[in-house]
Amino acid sequence: MIRAKIAEAVAAFLKKEFEQDVDSSTVQIEVTRKEFEGDYTLVVFPFVRMMKCKPEQAAESLGDYLQDELADIVGFGVIKGFLNLNLSAEYWTNQLEATITDTQWTSKRVGDELMLVEFSSPNTNKPLHLGHLRNIFLGHSVSLINEFEGKNVVKTQIINDRGVHICKSMFAWKMHGKGETPKSVGMKGDKYVGKYYVMYDDHLKKQVEALVNKGLEEDQAKKEAMLTKKVQEMLIDWENGDEETRELWKMMNGWVYEGFDETYERMGVSFDYLYYESDTYLKGKSIVEKGLDQGLFIQKDDGSIWVDLKQEGLDQKLLVRADGTTVYMTQDIGTAAQRYEDYPNLERIVYTVGDEQDYHFQVLFLTLHKLGFSWAEACRHLSYGMVDLPTGKMKSREGKVVDADDLMEEVVNAAKSSSLEKGKLNDMDEAQQAELFEILGIGALKFFLLRVDPRKRMLFNPEESVALTGDTGPFVQYTYARCRAVLRKGGTEDIVGTSLSEISDKERHLMRELRNFRQVTKEAAESMNPSAIASYVLDIAKLYNQFYHDIHILNAEGDERKFRLGLTSLTAQTIKTSMSLLGIRVPERM
């Protein structure tokens, strides 16, 4: 608000004195950096030419003008081409009152734009791992942030439930499962099916080895192996709708879903609508064939269909194989089209998928555009970097993965042991304690993964992910619990009408940052970047702790006490809301 006022005043000044037209929205006004005195800083360099004087002089005359013009500005300082403006203590106490009494401040904006966010989208042949965690937390948080900023969000995933991979587990189970079920052996469903997938791979390796020893090339041996043929037969059976195969498929996928549900439950993540590849994989092919008839694609002599994107700077890409079967790209075209049939009003669709598929999405979006789908422009790839381990890259083939369930169990246990060590929980019963350890452990993990800019590749250090000091989730949670403790003792007092002629720098800095909340959430929504919120809430926590350390709250009196309790209350609310946008809960005590 004040920033806009300053910008307008600057534009008016330039118009009046120099007859220059400046769009007030282009005037740069920043929060003054901590090292300098002042609240907001006007960058005057862009105006020195029109004002025909040195930067310092330009800043001086702008400062004089602004101080006269705007009552909230009580002074200014000039350093080179930077004009630092000081706002009055009354201004900041009024800001606190305005923010606290604004019932919309930490609630969802209203809007009717429809947005679909896809994330997770696992295969059904193996359990979720650390890489999925970044994807899931990211997609979930982006959904929450956009919902908060007024979008109507449909959280979805496409479940890769068909194809050779699941047939492999199915065949292995058929051979060696002895009719067991996850329940009968006491295993989580996704883990149980994953076991048979690995078993298949082991057996295949042995068969290939045997064939290689008989003199076959390795590629040839893979094709010739009995297991490969059996699985291919199974896939054909499945596609032909063979009842026994379909039943087995349904049963085993069911086990996997039960396992996944358990994992999502612990993560605190849910979906609004699920797409299954088995429902949509045929749709893409007919769209592509139609496109071929319209002359949008090309067909080669062997019958395969390709899209030519050379004009767009890319290459040709296969859409339908010579034998008429489809590839990944074709299926994606189908599901995208399906989504717009289901939700014709979609204004944005977001694919949360790793950056190794950047090229794939470039091709997909261009192809959708070529097909003339008006909504092709609404598609966005939320691309994120891979997660590395201290030991190097994660490789699922080599078993170098961190299992999602194991990891969650570990972080919760770590939270448990360090909490018990602190010994502050003696009057909590066991159920409450267990709940707290979940909040802390899962919170630490989520914060660790969301803190880093999504686009960047990141390093996952297991020890740091459970740390509770420094830039961590538990640090923020601690600050919240601390605020709550103060508020329990001090009560909340009516802030309306408080006015102070002086406040400390700590209070000023905290209030200034608290007032930025909506700006941050707005930008985070637009840029689909939860790390912006993580950085912000860390700043708030640090500023509050500094304030808390230097300034007495409960021993203060009158308006000072009210103001400080108000700051505490707004801090707590801001932390809670920010964390909720990251999908992280906060404890009242810890």
Partner RNA sequence: GGACCCGUAGCUUAACUGGAUAGAGUCCUUGACUACGAAUCAAGAGGUUGCAAGUUCGAAUCUUGCCGGGUUCACCA
**Cα–Cα distance measured from residue 66 to residue 5, given in angstroms and rounded to the nearest whole number:** 10
Residues 547-576 that bind RNA (CB under 7 A): 548-555
Q: Is 400 in the site for RNA (CB under 7 A)?
A: no
Q: What's the residue count for the chain?
A: 590
CB of 172 to RNA, least distance (A): 18
For tokens 């993560």, name the residue.
267
Residues 305-344 that bind RNA (CB under 7 A): 315, 318, 321-323, 327-328
CB of 114 to RNA, least distance (A): 24
- Please compute, for residue 525, the number of CA atoms within 13 A of its CA located in the half-sphere on the CB side: 23
| Contacting range for RNA; rule: CB under 7 A; set: 43-51, 101-109, 213-221, 241-249 | 43-51
**Cα–Cα distance measured from residue 357 to residue 152, given in angstroms and rounded to the nearest whole number:** 27
> 299 burial class (0-12, 13-18, 19+ CB within 10 angstroms)?
middle
| Interstrand relation of 40-43 and 82-87 (parallel, antiparallel or unpaired) | antiparallel
Segment (H or E) for 448: helix 430-450
Query: What is residue 33's DSSP assignment?
Result: P
Residue number with CB closer to RNA (174 or 561): 561
CB of 318 to RNA, least distance (A): 5
Residue number with CB closer to RNA (249 or 343): 249
**Cα–Cα distance measured from residue 404 to residue 414, given in angstroms and rounded to the nearest whole number:** 15
**Cα–Cα distance measured from residue 339 to residue 342, given in angstroms and rounded to the nearest whole number:** 5
| Contacting range for RNA; rule: CB under 7 A; set: 10-18, 24-32, 57-65, 291-299 | 24-32
| Contacting range for RNA; rule: CB under 7 A; set: 31-39, 202-210, 263-271, 334-342 | 31-39
State which of residues 4, 28, 396, 409 lies at the interface with RNA (CB under 7 A): 28
Residue type, 574: T
State which of residues 57, 338, 546, 580 lies at the interface with RNA (CB under 7 A): 546
Residue number with CB closer to RNA (97 or 507): 507
Residues 80-109 that bind RNA (CB under 7 A): 80-82, 84
Sequence-distant (≥ 6) Cβ neighbours of residue 270 within 8 angstroms: 155, 264
Phi-psi region of 268 (alpha: psi -120 to 50; beta: other; left: phi over 0): left
Residue number with CB closer to RNA (343 or 536): 536
Q: Is 46 in the site for RNA (CB under 7 A)?
A: yes
Binding mask 343-362 for RNA (x = CB under 7 A): ------------xxxxxx--
Residue number with CB closer to RNA (374 or 469): 469
CB of 181 to RNA, least distance (A): 26
CB of 570 to RNA, least distance (A): 17
Residues 197-256 that bind RNA (CB under 7 A): none
**Cα–Cα distance measured from residue 565 to residue 559, given in angstroms and rounded to the nearest whole number:** 10
CB of 180 to RNA, least distance (A): 27
Residues 452-511 that bind RNA (CB under 7 A): 452-453, 455-459, 461, 464, 467-472, 474-475, 478, 481-482, 484-486, 489
The site that binds RNA (CB under 7 A) totals a number of residues, namely 95
Sequence-distant (≥ 6) Cβ neighbours of residue 319 within 8 angstroms: 288, 297, 305, 306, 307, 326, 327, 329, 330, 333, 367
| Contacting range for RNA; rule: CB under 7 A; set: 38-46, 98-106, 126-134, 339-347 | 38-46
State which of residues 12, 43, 274, 428 lies at the interface with RNA (CB under 7 A): 43
Residue number with CB closer to RNA (219 or 243): 219
Q: Where are the beta strands (DSSP E) in 301-457?
A: 305-308, 316-320, 346-354, 379-384, 387-389, 392-393
| Contacting range for RNA; rule: CB under 7 A; set: 1-9, 57-65, 249-257, 523-531 | 523-531
Q: Is 276 in the site for RNA (CB under 7 A)?
A: no
| Residue 351: both structure tokens together | 């694919």
CB of 354 to RNA, least distance (A): 8
Residues 117-176 that bind RNA (CB under 7 A): 123, 160, 163-165
Buried b or exposed e, range 370-392, using 16+ CB within 10 angstroms: bbebebbebbbbbbbbebebeee
For tokens 């708030």, name the residue.
540
